[in-house]
Structure 1
Amino acid sequence: MACACSIVAKFDLRIRFEEPRIQKLQDLMKLNYQWPLPIQPRPISIIGSGGIVKDAHLPAYSKANFKVLGVFDIDYEKSAMVAKTWNLKAFESLDKLISNAQAHNAVFDLALPPSAVSKVVEKLPNHATVLIQKPMGSDLEEAKEIKEICARKKLNAAVNFQLRFSPMMLALRDAMSKMMLQKILDLEVHLNLETPWNLFPFLKKMERVEIAVHSIHYLDLIRSFLGTPKSVWAQTLGHPNTPDIAQTRTSAILNYGPEIRCVISINHNYSKGPRLQTAQIRFDCQKGGAYVKLGLLLDYPRGEPDEVWIYKSEKEEWDQIEFEGGWFPEAFIGTMSNLQRFVAGEDNQLHTSVEDAYETMRLVEACYESSRSGGTEL
């Protein structure tokens, strides 16, 4: 029979061995994954009533208890249906919505086709606060026009690049701020899945689709971590199975100098079943690493839970970060909160300002230019 002191010694060793890991798990559980709400939220007036409004904007604002005054769309029947579902007012004209918004000091939330953004922004009152659904126009020329209009009218304007504000990315950024991960050396975005393009019939009319509408999220996210790259090599193309969609696949290499490898590899036409589909972002750092699962994109629109895994240092295991919520709708709370808090003086930086968003649009344009050039001939 083992003596009592021997048993106690082994138990004590086990406790001391487990203590660092317990502390590490406690640290991961303390990571912040929510953007603070404005102290005194302003009401919101929505221009546009498409799928993104129904699936993300309105659910987000409802969850955050943000008051929505009403909605306007050039298709009044569509806006009326949305208004009925969410117990809102459907305005019969843009002028009436603007007048009502001014009377209540509301924030304008634009969810429009890219080509319509500049025309509507021009009609907003000077000094208004506005959140513009990405992309910032159809191309760089329109983005420049939008930026100039916002400056001339002195608008407090941001673009809804909400992936930055998703719970998974806020948690990851907090881990970096606490030095759990240090110095990104490798950043890779990899999607291999089947996107239900039938849910987005409006894309059939667009000349620019994959980068301008989808991968723009990843380009903006990468910029938020690494800044604007020195140059880019890219190819974006369609697929025989989806001839009505201009582009559904993209490869791009972003040049951040001799130490950092940064790539995106996107295939929306992987139709070989769900088992081996992937939607992930990997960060390999000089200290530690991270794996992010973009669950929303798997089995869209139902999706799967988002996941974040952290590898803090050598000789340690991967640990999953606990957080609540996902890209949709929680990330949309973050962009609206940052805008309102910035205008109120509660946040010192407007993270997706039109000036910053313009840099993302420059990167998007560079990707299209690179794809047109066709690379080095052999």
Structure 2
Amino acid sequence: MTAHTQLAETFRRFADQQATGPSPLYATLSRAVARTPELLDLAALTQPGQPAPNMLLGAVHHILRRGVKHALAPYFTGREDLTDDRAADLLTDFCRRHAEAIRQIISTRAVQTNEVNRCTVLLPAFAALQQQLDDGRPIRIVDVGASAGLALLWDRYTYDYDGHRLTLPDSDPDTVLHCEVRGGTPPLTLDPARFAPPVGIEPSPVDVTDPVATEWLVSLTWPEQTGRMRTLNSALALASRTPPTILAGTAQDHLTDVVAETPDDQHLVLVFSWSIYQIFGSPGGRERLVDTLAELSQRRPLREISIGHFGNATPRMIMASHDGGVSRSDIVAHCDVYGTWLDWLATPPARTGA
């Protein structure tokens, strides 16, 4: 199978995922890319390890959001539905006109989607941790793969679970995150004062005070998801006033130091929200992470919260402990990629060695 054939198949799979889901527009455009050699040539310039459909279509969206005039623009604002017979011609013409800008974007940038609504899934995990760690010691959150660090500001948002409004002492009333509760009742009672100032780890941190950098994050959302864009913009505005602390570098660069430098009187919790595959690869990333944390736990006990697919169709959240080289974990919830619904498992599965 040639590289172009593989890339075309990648775009066809992406189209299938979007067709009945978040973006019928991206489904149509992806099918157009898959059958157009010129567009595949351009998409092939995406950096290794980055998803070509997200990058190419994100670049097009990014340029259009700057106000560029083109016949493709109305379809990105939802005013018209794009048909398959027009998609290839319009997209090819647009990419020819803006080829240099697109090359620059897809060959230098990365997908750094910072889905703030995932905090609706993380907050119950933090509440469960506080219940488990009832000795009164501060809890330090380290978000590994933090992007712009929006999850580090979890205590600054307002939450809505099935119409039940949850506010914390520092909640911003204009940044409201929504989640449908399915299955068991998630724990939602917690004291943010128990949590020490958090920190993120990110190879290429997004500067939340830089409008160009934050605009790229917004461009990575699907054009139809206007509500998601509004929430992201609101969270970014909040973050620009109180920028989160992020360590620039890889997990391998910083994890050992973070473990060593966290005071002994604090509980250390490492959060991986759809970031494990970026750090440890896929498949097998989860197993490599467990080995890494088990080794680090020889120095001090660690807690872990990981969210991802982990080889399953439905995403899940794992809460784990690592102590003295021994790792134990529970699947505590199933959830949506965007945090729009949460199925909390009232009785988690039996503990395992991973």
Larger Rg: 1
**TM-score range normalised by the length of the shorter chain:** under 0.3
For normalisation by structure 1, the TM-score amounts to 0.24
For normalisation by structure 2, the TM-score amounts to 0.25
**RCO (CA 8 Å, sep 6+): is it higher in 1 or 2?**
1
